[in-house]
Amino acid sequence: MSAQAEAQRLLPRPLLAVLTTLLCLMVLVPLLYIVLASLNTDVGVAGGEFFPSTFTAASYSKIWTTADLSTGIVNSLIVCAVTAVASALLGTTTAYVLVRYTFLGRLTILRGLVGLQSIPGTLMLLPVFVLFSSAGNYLGLTVIGTRWGLFVAYLTFALPFSTWVMVTYLRGLPRELEEAARTEGASTVTILWRIIVPLSLPAIVVSGIFAFLLGWNDVLFASVLTRPETHTAAVALQIFGSAQEGGALPVYSQMMAAALICAAPVVILYLLFQRYLVGGLTAGGVK
């Protein structure tokens, strides 16, 4: 039975249409307001205008001087891109070992990957900060305030999820492909990079995108582990928004424009890899 037929079986067609319309409105109306507010003046937004009386794109040019958004976006792109690539590659190789080999402690590791997902990131903020500070004192390394320190923190939280996604996906790949390659003399590394990785591309994309979003949306760790020149886009946006509180005329239009600019890379990422997302997210759901 198709998904549309299944939905119609659960709900009558009129009710399904009403619910679908309401859900679309809940998403589109706030988005439309943000877009219109970014094209309005600060005075118009502060006055409560939903539809601008005067359309202007001045906020998109002012935001680069009123908020340190360019530095934040560059830092976020560098840290999050490296985290996504490293998490996807390490998660794939680790998952391959966990799925295809049997060794002592394998089940413990698999259960630990699931258990790590239940630990809130806020509980790890102080331990991570103390650990990074100790590394700076005892090893002579500068970790706090650097991009690579933020990368290590993000990778710590992204790698368990990426590994579990790949474990679920690799369990569904037939072993016959690997056995056929071994009969031709292919090594384990060759099998991994020439057979497993191309076949697992949907799951690799999903794990990479989620790792990217983990860093892109983070404010807590980025605000503690960075300094002004290494602030991410989320921190720059938060600082800019906090600076307007209590002002004579909050620059709401510029805040909306900054929010759309910060959201643009994520939207572009989804548009580029959307054909892989459906297959990767549903991987392992049917055996």
Condensed to tens digits (0 to 9), the pLDDT of residues 143-156 reads 888 899 899 999 98
Q: Read off the DSSP letter of residue 282.
A: T
Distance (Å, whole) CA 79 – CA 147: 6
For residue 58, the model assigns a pLDDT of: 85
- The one-letter amino acid at 17: A
Domain boundary among 59, 77, 96: 59
Q: How far does the chain reach from its first CA to its final CA, in angstroms?
A: 17
Q: Is residue 287 part of a domain?
A: no
Q: Which of 191, 193, 198 is nearest to 177 (CA)?
A: 191
Judgement on whether residues 49 and 146 belong to the same structural domain of the protein: no
* Residue 267 structure tokens: 């939207």
For position 123, what pLDDT does the model report? 85
Instruction: Record the tokens describing residue 275, joined without a space.
Output: 């054909």
Q: Does 234 fall in a domain?
A: yes
Cα separation of 190 and 187, whole Å?
5
pLDDT > 70: percent of the chain: 91
Indicate the pLDDT class of residue 284, thresholds 50, 70 and 90: very low
- Distances in Å between the Cα of 187 and the Cα atoms of 180, 198, 213, 233, 241 are 12, 16, 35, 43, 54
Distance CA 208, CA 18 (A): 36
Return the residue matching tokens 């650990």: 131
Among candidates 186, 183, 208, which has minimal Cα distance to 195? 186
Prediction pTM value: 0.84
Residues 9 and 132 in one domain: no
Q: Are residues 51 and 104 in the same domain?
A: no
Structural tokens at position 230:
């290494």
Segment 222-227 shows an average pLDDT of: 90
Residue 281 is predicted with a pLDDT of 54
Are both 25 and 122 inside the same structural domain? no
Does residue 193 form part of some domain?
yes
**What pLDDT, on a 0 to 100 scale, did the predictor assign at position 9?**
62
Mean pLDDT along residues 109-124: 82
Based on the domain organization, do 140 and 247 belong to the same domain? yes
The answer to whether residue 286 sits within a structural domain is: no
Question: Do 135 and 25 have their domain in common?
Answer: no
Shared domain check, 149 and 8: no
Q: What integer pLDDT is reported at residue 3 of this predicted model?
A: 56
Residue 153 dihedral angles phi and psi, to the nearest 5°:
-65, -45
Within this chain, do residues 38 and 173 fall inside the same structural domain, yes or no? no
Query: What CA–CA distance (Å, rounded) separates 196 from 184?
Result: 16
Do 28 and 164 lie in one domain? The reply is no
In this structure, the answer to whether residues 156 and 40 fall within a common structural domain is no
Instruction: Give a yes or no: residue 102 inside a domain.
Output: yes
- Number of separate domains in the chain: 2
pLDDT band at 81 (very low <50, low <70, confident <90, very high): very high
Asked if 151 and 244 sit in the same domain, the reply is yes
Domain membership of residue 75 as a residue range:
67-281
Of 123-132, 148-157, 213-222, 248-257, the one with minimum mean pLDDT is 248-257
What is the mean predicted confidence (pLDDT) over 17-46?
88
Find tokens 């994520």 and name the residue. Answer: 266
pLDDT of 166 above 60: yes
The yes-or-no verdict on residue 283 having pLDDT over 60 is no
Q: Which residue, 77, 79, 81, 89, is CA-closest to 203?
A: 89
